[in-house]
Amino acid sequence: MLLELQDSQLVLVDYQSQLMPVMHEGDAVLRNGVRLAQMAHLLKVPTWGTEQNPERLGHNPVEISEVCRRTLAKMSFGACEEGLGEVLRPQASAPSGNARSLPRHLQKAVPAPVRNSVV
């Protein structure tokens, strides 16, 4: 399965300074998170971050937070209650097209062009 750039977003979840030491291979996790953030920035992939209880656990490192369009602070394990779902939902596009973009059976009849020929 290939990813489509225009349909992609990246969410970097809880890369906080107080969480990394207690995480298995926390240094490698942080390095890979920074690498992901940098690549997403180069490819112009929208990037978002979350922070679990930032007052107690600290904030995400600068390398991660600087590429995030927005970082959601959260007090629960999931981030949906804090609005992550709404942030990730694509904006509704305005209706486009005209009557010609309708299926043929729904289009208004167009008169045939007049021929200037003698029979």
Query: pLDDT by residue for the chain (119 residues), tens digit each?
Result: 677 888 888 889 888 888 888 889 988 999 999 999 999 999 999 998 988 888 888 899 899 989 998 888 888 777 666 666 677 676 656 656 565 566 777 777 777 777 666 65
Q: How many residues does the chain have?
A: 119
What's the pLDDT score for residue 118? 61
CA dist 65 and 37 (Å) reads 9
Residue 97 in any domain: the answer is no
Alpha carbons within 13 angstroms on the beta-carbon side of residue 23 total 15
DSSP state letter for 113: P
Report if residue 8 sits inside a domain: no
Structural domain for 71, as ranges: 19-86
pTM, rounded to two decimals: 0.65
- Cβ proximity of 46 and 5 under 8 Å: no
The structural domain count of the chain equals 1
Q: Is 111 domain-assigned?
A: no
* Alpha helices (runs of H) in the chain, residue ranges in sequence order: 26-42, 54-57, 62-65, 84-88
Residue 35 has what pLDDT? 93
